[in-house]
Structure 1
Amino acid sequence: MGLTYRIYLSGNRIFGCGKCKTHLSTSEHIMSKDFHGKTGRAYLFEDVVNVTDGPQENREMRTGLHTVVDIHCCHCGFVVGWKYIKAFADREKYKEGKYILEKMLFQEVV
Structure 2
Amino acid sequence: MMTSFPRHGKAYLFSKVVNVTEGEKEERMMMTGLHTVADIFCVGCGSIVGWKYEAAHEKSQKYKEGKFILERFKVCGPDGNGYWVNHEAQVTGSDAEDA
Give the C-alpha shift of residue 52 in structure 1.
Answer: 0.4
Larger RCO, structure (CA 8 Å, separation 6 or more): 1
* Match among 31, 43, 60 for residue 62 of structure 1: 31
* Larger Rg computed on CA atoms: 2
| Unaligned ranges ≥5, structure 2 | 1-5, 88-99
**Equivalent residue number for residue 15 of structure 1:** none
* Match among 40, 64, 74 for residue 95 of structure 1: 64
**Equivalent residue number for residue 41 of structure 1:** 10
* Match among 16, 21, 31 for residue 52 of structure 1: 21
RMSD of aligned alpha carbons? 1.7
Match status 1:81 vs 2:81: no
Give the C-alpha shift of residue 40 in structure 1.
Answer: 1.3
* Distance (whole Å) between structure 2 residues aligned to residue 78 and residue 87 of structure 1: 25
Identical residues among aligned pairs (%): 54
Question: Aligned partner of 2:65: which letter?
Answer: E
1:20-31 alignment runs, 5 A limit? none
* Distance (whole Å) between structure 2 residues aligned to residue 106 and residue 74 of structure 1: 12
Give the C-alpha shift of residue 74 in structure 1.
Answer: 1.1
| Secondary structure of residue in 2 paired with 1:54 | strand
Q: Is the strand fraction higher in 1 or 2?
A: 1
Give the C-alpha shift of residue 76 in structure 1.
Answer: 1.3
* Distance (whole Å) between structure 2 residues aligned to residue 55 and residue 74 of structure 1: 16
| Unaligned ranges ≥5, structure 1 | 1-36
TM-score for the superposition, normalised by structure 2:
0.69
Question: Aligned partner of 2:12: which letter?
Answer: Y
TM-score for the superposition, normalised by structure 1:
0.63
Moved over 4 A (4+): none
